[in-house]
A = this chain, B = another copy of it.
Amino acid sequence: MKSQNFDYSWLKALFINCTLKPSPKLSHTDGLIDISKIIMEKQWVSVEVIRAADYPIANGIMPDMTKEGWKEDAWPALYKKVLEADILIITTPIWLWDKSSQCTKIIERLYSNSWDTNESWQYAFYGKVGGCLVTWNEDGAKHCAMWVLYSLQHIGYTIPPQADAAWLWEVWPWPSYKDKNSWWPENDFTNKNTTFMTWNLMHMAHILNENKGIPAYGNLPEAWKDWNKFWFENPEYR
């Protein structure tokens, strides 16, 4: 099979790197992001990478925490980027086998917008595609990815097959991903998973774009409140 290009030039992808370290400190997670980003850009996808720790994102579960008394909140501006992107990839290191507190905060803030609706009256994230990248030594990548992907599908994202990838090293104190004596940039397992994830995210975003999202029937919260029950009936009353 020959190398084949796909014209995905109208797609936008946003990576949110949830490392605890602000720029310009080295983020090993950036290494995995780069792999995915390069593949996307070769298909003309517009890619943006944001590091959460570089922004004063407030803790809270309201869309704009400055309205709740916080002095500043970078989230409303970042949320606009999320809304513009067809593909969202949340990336996190692992600490004590859990996603980072920056990652937990990003999910809380996505949740704070989960009551918004799109032009079809579906939840705002419907029609978008979500993925996850995780880095660290030892253990816990799947658990972190599981949580991120579940949260994304809950608020409206579609999760294509194999929508995550990870780089792990078995135990402390081995080198981290971007350390010189790490030979993991050569690691076939991580590279394959990252590549497959990247393609499945692009393909699914393309399919949903072509289809103008998910059909707006059966998933409209306001209509449900107005007693359109979309063929629901209570089995006991049949």
Contacts and interface: CB of A to CB of B under 8 A. Distances in A.
Interface of A: 1, 3-4, 6, 20-21, 31, 34-35, 38-39, 42-43, 53, 59-61, 95-105, 107-108, 111, 123, 125-126, 138-143, 145-147, 149-151, 153-163, 166, 168-172, 185-187, 189-192, 194-196, 198-200, 202-204, 206-208, 210-211, 214-215, 217-221, 223-224, 226, 228-236, 238
B95 A20 contact: no
A3 B153 contact: no
Given A3-B230, A231-B3, A96 B111 contact: yes
A20 B59 contact: yes
A153 B157 contact: no
Given A139-B140, A231-B39, A233-B38, A4 B59 contact: no
Contacts of A207: 207-208, 211, 214
A230 B200 CA distance: 12
A35 B232 contact: yes
B104 A158 contact: no
A104 B108 contact: no
A141 B142 contact: no
| Number of identical protomers | 4
A199 B219 contact: yes
A221 to B, nearest CB: 8
Contact of A96 (B4, B97, B107, B162): B107
24 contacts: A20-B60, A38-B233, A39-B218, A39-B231, A39-B232, A42-B231, A95-B111, A96-B108, A96-B111, A97-B143, A97-B146, A101-B104, A126-B161, A142-B150, A146-B146, A149-B153, A154-B161, A171-B190, A185-B234, A186-B234, A192-B224, A195-B230, A196-B219, A199-B230
